Amino acid sequence: MSIEFDNNLPIYLQIMNYIKRQIVTGTLKSGDKILSVRELAAELQINPNTIQRTFQELEREEIVETRRGLGRYVTSEESKIMGIKKEMAGELLDRFINGMQELGFAEQDIVSIVAEAVTEVPEPDQDRGVNHRE
């Protein structure tokens, strides 16, 4: 696993976003065990306290759950995962629409461009590498 960190955003938030993306894309599935604080800190070469903060926030959002003596697991609540997916989609759409408006496109033009593009884009490859534990 490698993340290119952005100096303008706290590292723990970037790791949270990375883990959320792994969950919504299916790289990490509902109920999967995730790496420990030490393992993830070593892999990303960052302070374990940063990973601990990341996990605390993910637990607060009920995206990750701790099972005492067993480790941390991705939530089994599909509604939570769908909520994350919708939130991420909304953020992508906001950035896209703002960018298109900056280019001078009107709402109807944006809709037409998207409709045309959707018919031309192939389905994504679902066979992705998995970086977690069973």
Q: What is the 3-state secondary structure (H, E, C) of the chain?
A: CCCCCCCCCCHHHHHHHHHHHHHHHCCCCCCCECCCHHHHHHHHCCCHHHHHHHHHHHHHCCCEEEECCCEEEECCCHHHHHHHHHHHHHHHHHHHHHHHHHCCCCHHHHHHHHHHHHHHCCCCCCCCCCCCEC
Predicted TM-score (pTM) of this structure? 0.75
Residue 125: pLDDT band (50, 70, 90) is low
In a domain, 1, yes or no: no
Which residues constitute the domain of residue 105? 79-120
In a domain, 98, yes or no: yes
* Count of the separate structural domains present in the chain: 2
Residue range 71-84: mean pLDDT, rounded: 94
Residues 39 and 68 reside in one and the same domain = yes
